[in-house]
Chain A
Amino acid sequence: MTVINAVPDSPQTIRDSYLAMTRRKRLYSGIMLLIFVILFVSGFRIAEDRNAGGFLDGIGQIFDFPAAMISEAAEKAANLPGHIIDVLPALVETVNIAAVSTLIGCLAGVMLALLATRGLAPWPRLTGMFRRVSDILRAVPEIVVALVLIFVLGGGPVPAAIAIALHTAGAMGKLFSEVNENADLKPLDGLASVGASWGQRMWLGVIPQVAPNYFSYGLMRFEINIRASAILGFVGAGGIGYELKNAMTFGQGKLDEAAGIFLVLFVTIVAFDQLSSLIRNRLTYGGA
């Protein structure tokens, strides 16, 4: 742009400088692509060196486990309904962990978001601090928090729920505050002018505007949390993940059980996914 502005006199120079700019942009794109390829290849080589096996040697075995599981499940197909019924209580536990942690996490997220949004926060100088708090909460992986809490509290659903709730609060704090940024401030001015307190302004002025979006993000988070809570079962936090870990170990002859669990988990996640997208569509586009 500066080049064009510097020589505004003749069309010829403008054309030349524009073409030069185009060439320069292409060169930058080429360099970026090259850097990307170099990073990609070198990263792959490092990973390959550190692997116990080799990526290319191992890639053939990628289907060994699923194949073993399917053949074992097929052999003992008659047991499958029994396994599925057996794991249902564990599934309920997993969904419960997800539901409790989503609810608590979202409520905390709403507070964090309101405190961290400029123009809404009661203490404008502290918005940065509340933003960092939600950054930290979502930067620490659930599994790390869960492991620490299991060490302190012992295994079970409570540490898992706390771990997921903390992560959810951080993630929702960020998402909700972005939703808040788009809220119309005029109703808030109106409420402030009658002498409403901060809580009243937020509850009556902001929440009605953002609730559909909040709800939609909350439902999406619920799906994510079902998966997260299943995974946390692997580290002893109870629920279906714990059953899956026990069944999944190679060579125990329990792979048919694992297949049953996978099936239940798959159906559950798809069901909640469908349900939540149905509700979200209604919230977003209206309808009954």
Chain B
Amino acid sequence: MLEVRNVTRLFGSRRAVDTVSFTVDRPQFVGIIGRSGAGKSTFLRMMNRLLDASSGEIRFEGRNILALRGAEARTWQSQCAMIFQQFNLVPRIDVASNVLHGKLNSRSTLATMFNLWSRADIVQALDILDRLGIAEQAPKRAEALSGGQQQRVAIARALMQDPKIILADEPIASLDPMNAQVVMDTLKRINTEDGRMVIANLHTLDTARRYCDRVIGLRDGRLVFDGPACDLTTDMAREIYGADESFNEEATSTAMPAANPALHAVRVAAQ
């Protein structure tokens, strides 16, 4: 399904991503962990074609997506949704329009300028917002929402794309633990219920262990771990984070509340 072969990205002489290879053959929830600067974001941005690779191939369903140019690359982007740490919504536009942006690739620029969306598209956008528990926010400006709500709008935009893969670049790094859990639960549900592949950059071990079927560890741009989340031992984590004996797992923990009644209420509302 997804085959990554020797992907490398150079910034000057620094190898941000260094000959990374792995294969994902079914729609798994894949977590990529590593320290800041390990190349996680660079890798996801190359997958979405926001950034060009220096060498290597990423094959999805047989096609090398790194070789796509112009309109073809944009079509790939529309099938490969991306969620960002800072949400990257258009702040001054209403929530529903931000969700509709997921369909931009199939609309002409002229239709975009006059805000011409079909009734079916609008209904779909509202349905997705409803599924994520934020339908009542649809007419508000995106900037008026809380961080957790904005991230759910970003997920709604991703779903609007009807993507084959969802890439999430540190999706919970800007959120409080409660919102983080809502967002991660949502991503997990999309993965299991819709059967969409999710690849998420995470910088905390416990999140990776709790949500991912499979974890990939990057260190200085190189792949140093690839296996099921249960194989991620403390020694292995030490290796990935390049830490010595004093390595403390707590340092990479978000202290996500496991059983918080208030959070449970939020989750019920979200469903």
Contact = CB atoms under 8 A, between A and B. Distances in A.
Interface of A: 184, 186-187, 189-197, 199-200, 203-205, 208-209
B77 A193 contact: yes
A208 B75 CA distance: 25
A211 to B, nearest CB: 9
The 4 A-B residue pairs whose C-beta atoms are closest, nearest first, are A190-B88, A195-B77, A195-B105, A199-B109
Contact of A189 (B50, B74, B112, B113): B50
A187 B102 CA distance: 13
Nearest to B77: A195
Judged by DSSP, the binding face of A is helix
Contacts of A208: 90, 92-93
A193 B86 CA distance: 14
Contact of A190 (B73, B74, B76, B89): B89
Given A197-B109, A200-B112, A203-B112, A191 B50 contact: no
Given A191-B101, A194-B102, A194-B104, A204 B112 contact: yes
B227 interface: no
Nearest to B154: A190
B9 to A, nearest CB: 17
A186 B109 CA distance: 20
23 contacts: A186-B88, A187-B89, A187-B91, A189-B84, A189-B88, A190-B88, A190-B101, A191-B90, A191-B104, A193-B82, A194-B81, A194-B105, A194-B157, A195-B73, A195-B74, A195-B76, A195-B78, A196-B104, A196-B105, A199-B109, A199-B113, A204-B101, A208-B90
B161 interface: yes
Given A190-B82, A190-B87, A194-B102, 20 more contacts: A186-B84, A186-B88, A187-B89, A189-B84, A189-B88, A190-B90, A191-B101, A192-B50, A193-B50, A193-B81, A193-B84, A193-B88, A194-B101, A195-B77, A196-B104, A197-B109, A199-B109, A204-B93, A204-B104, A209-B92
A63 B259 CA distance: 87
Contacts of B161: 194
Interface of B: 48, 50, 73-78, 81-82, 84, 86-93, 101-102, 104-105, 107, 109, 112-113, 154, 157, 161
B76 A196 contact: no
A187 B90 contact: yes
Given A189-B50, A194-B105, A194-B161, A204 B90 contact: yes
Contacts of A191: 90, 101, 104
Nearest to B110: A199
Contacts of A184: 91
Nearest to A188: B88
A248 to B, nearest CB: 47
B113 A203 contact: yes
A31 B161 CA distance: 66
A197 B77 CA distance: 11
Contacts of A209: 91-92
A200 B109 contact: yes
Contacts of A193: 48, 50, 77, 81-82, 84, 88
A197 B84 contact: no
Contacts of B84: 186, 189-190, 193
A195 B105 CA distance: 5
Nearest to B142: A187
B167 to A, nearest CB: 8
Contacts of B90: 187, 190-191, 204-205, 208
A184 B142 CA distance: 15
A204 B109 CA distance: 10
B215 to A, nearest CB: 24
A190 B168 CA distance: 12
A203 B116 CA distance: 14
B235 to A, nearest CB: 36
B105 A186 contact: no
Contacts of A187: 88-91
B185 to A, nearest CB: 22
Nearest to A208: B92
Given A200-B109, A203-B109, A194 B89 contact: no
Nearest to B163: A194
A182 to B, nearest CB: 14
Contacts of B113: 199, 203
A244 B225 CA distance: 83
A246 to B, nearest CB: 46
A284 to B, nearest CB: 15
